[in-house]
Amino acid sequence: MRQRLADIATQVEGELVGDGSCIIERVAPLDEAGEGSISVLINARQSRRLESTGATAVIVSREIDKAPVPIIRVASPEVALVTLLSTYFAGHRPAEDGIHASARIHPSAEVDEEADIGPHVSIGPHTSVGRNACIGAGVAIGAHCRVGAGTWIFANTTLYDHVSLGDGVIIHSGTVIGSDGFGYFQGSGGARKIPQVGGVEIGDEVEIGANTTIDRATMGMTRIGRGTKIDNLVQIGHNVVIGDHVTICAQVGIAGSTVVEAGSLIGGQAGLSDHIKVGAGSRIGGQAGVTKSISAGSTVSGYPARPHNQARRIEAAIKRLPDLLQQIQALEARIKALESQK
């Protein structure tokens, strides 16, 4: 990266304040930036950080008029950052161009000639791999799968049989999709396994973090909707249905046959019980335990999950319990003293 600041301002559709001729060679965090760096200040309330930064220039929101260094004022610093990184830094592809000699592709599989397949990849029978798909080293893909156009799968990911990935999907390393759901019933000899014969369907432009697991359906399909983003270390049970553009943070667990409707957000380490529905546009706080269905647009937190404002009042009351206990004990002592005087 080597660009004039004025050119960068044009690319991010911002207003330049200061010297536009200075040369930018890298993007760096505000606290680590040095000469030749450009940084981004997301929150205008932290504008004091501009006084101590070593950055040559900073992208800021339109709320900020001036700074000790040249600035580019934009409507959204987040969008500008995405534009900047996308323009100057290529994403790390899972595989190099072409099909590696060590890859094992079943004769009945259909792999587009413009797909890239890394070393020691295994692709099973009757599986299709679309145009510009990129599959990293050690990925194992079973039978009757679909990998859509432009989909990236990073190293050591496993797709069991009957897994369908849409176009533009990104799956990070160590993820397992299509493993058996946790389905058993208690027989006379203990837990007896229920065969898991369904599949998994992942919509277009879904991103799935590292070491996440998505179980196949007992029958039918486990489904993840278009544009949904799933963080690392998430467990999604069998027959779960996730709507479009849902955001799921790290270490979330969603039990079988639960439905999460479009546009919802689930905070880290939250747990969702089985056979419930999370209404569209809901917000679930981190570490919340959702045991019952919640209506569209709800914001809940705590365990068991309650409306967020109620959960905050309960949390505040819990912090006062030691003092309240002392007050009760003091009142009991006074009552006993008064009764003894009768």
Q: What is the pLDDT of residue 89?
A: 83
Q: What is the pLDDT of residue 73?
A: 97
Q: What is the pLDDT of residue 70?
A: 97
Model confidence pLDDT, tens digit, residues 244-287: 999 999 999 999 999 999 999 999 999 999 999 999 999 999 99
- Stated pTM of the model: 0.87
Q: What is the pLDDT of residue 87?
A: 87
Q: What is the pLDDT of residue 293?
A: 97
User: How far is it, in rounded angstroms, from Cα 133 to Cα 140?
Assistant: 15
Q: Does residue 205 have a pLDDT over 90?
A: yes
Cα first-last separation, the chain: 89
Model confidence pLDDT, tens digit, residues 306-319: 999 999 999 899 99
Question: Within a 10 A sphere around the Cβ of 201, how many other Cβ atoms?
Answer: 19
Question: Within a 10 A sphere around the Cβ of 54, how many other Cβ atoms?
Answer: 15
Q: What is the pLDDT of residue 300?
A: 97
Q: Does residue 180 have a pLDDT over 90?
A: yes
Q: What is the pLDDT of residue 238?
A: 98
Q: Does residue 342 have a pLDDT over 90?
A: no
Indicate if 245 belongs to the active site. no
Q: Which among 238, 245, 275, 308 is annotated as catalytic?
A: 238
Mean pLDDT for the stretch of residues 104-129? 98
Reported confidence tier of residue 4, pLDDT bands at 50, 70, 90? very high
